[in-house]
Amino acid sequence: MERTLTLGLTLSLSGRYAAMGRQALHALQLCVAQNQPGLELGGHRYQVALRCLDDGSDARRCAAQYRSLCFENRADVILGPYSSNLTRVALPISEAAGLVMINHGGADDSLYTRHARRLVGVASPASTYFVGLARLVSQLKLWRKRIAAIAAPTPFCRAVVAGLAQACEERANARRGVRLRIHQEVRTPRDQALIDWLLHLRRARINVLVSAGDFAQDLALVDAVIRARLNIPVLACVAAGVAEFYTQLGSRAEGIVGPSPWEESLEIEPQLGSTPRAFAREMRAAGAGEPDYPAAQAYAAGCLALAALQACGSLEPDRMREAFANLRIRTLLGEFAIDPNSGRQIGHQVLLVQWHDGVKVIIHPDAHADTGSLEFPSGWRLILASLGSLHLRARRPPENDDNNDA
């Protein structure tokens, strides 16, 4: 007799996180469709089903829905919501229920504490988002390498800047003159406060600015810097990693750098699930638009959940968590591996991307690819010789090339 195996979660299909929540839903629906007619566990055949509730980007609603998913209407497998804020609300509930939570949408490092015994991280931790930026800046032949990091007062944003600060202090970067000169927390400044903040950046002779806020905050701060014509050579923000950033800023987004755990142009052959290009093509065909990394992370989470279940052959949470700890496999995100104690993702690394002519380009300091130049937001260009080993890879796939899929 066939049984049903339910993947349960909430996503923000409305509210402030709706754009990313809807993408994640499409990605999980694709995963479920690809894994029919199901899988066999303990001698029983299970059809895979998805139960997704709309948390409305609201913490109280999210908590109530996870209590239902973990207790009254218990799902077999629990996936986390989108955003660190909501994951922080849902995690204690899944822990109290003794269930594994597969975290695809919360990157805050503080989620991975000793209290979260059954958390599995698919998303890369926030502290790794701009580690590569410090290394990139160290290679630029600038007289000064003075970085200003502006963070919103949230655990996620603090983790982003803390990771950057630690990377700046690494011996190789510090020896090349990389310094974090300004490190402050701000809410979106307005009117006179904004003017004072911009003047402060000018007086400090900052040539690298990093913003770590929510999407609207990053957009407002970076746009203000560009309009003020401060001519800061390198501008970076968390929001620049998603396509909506260019939609909102248009040509003003040119040259802005952002973190991205996944891009369609990644040249990897997954052992599990679709290739990056096939996934993007399937998402477009499903009417989900251009997929961003939150969609890829949700898709990988679904594929990994089913792989762990097959590895342990059971729905028992402790056996499932052990299977995740032992799992070493490649998805469309890259290599998957977690710290066996904390559940923190340690397998794949965050990419850096930059906007060129309306297209995201992967920046990889050590890649063996066609070389290019790093375009600065002010319109400046550095010649290749001044970039050391910096390389760029275009996001656009080759036309009419179907041989890139597994």
Report the Cα 325 to chain-centroid distance in Å: 21
* Distance in angstroms between the alpha carbons of the first and the last residue of the chain: 33
Closest CA to 121 of 311, 351, 340: 340
Q: Which of 35-44, 64-73, 247-256 has the lowest mean pLDDT?
A: 35-44
pLDDT at 189: 60
pLDDT at 114: 67
**Which one is the CATH code of 3-124+264-336: 3.40.50.2300, 3.40.50.150, 1.10.8.60, 1.10.10.10?**
3.40.50.2300
pLDDT at 37: 84
With a pLDDT cut of 90, the percent of the chain lying above it is 63
Q: Which of 44-48, 138-142, 244-248 has the lowest mean pLDDT?
A: 138-142
**Sequence-ordered list of residues with C-beta below 8 angstroms from that of 280, at least 6 positions apart, any chain:** 264, 290, 291
For residues 26-37, average pLDDT? 93
pLDDT in tens, 309-339: 999 999 999 999 999 999 999 999 999 999 9
Phi, psi of 361 (to 5 degrees): -120, 135
Start-end ranges of CATH 3.40.50.2300 in the chain?
3-124+264-336, 128-260
Q: What is the pTM of this model?
A: 0.86
Q: Which amino acid is at 208?
A: V
pLDDT at residue 143 tops 90: no
Fold exhibited by the domain 128-260? Rossmann fold (3.40.50)
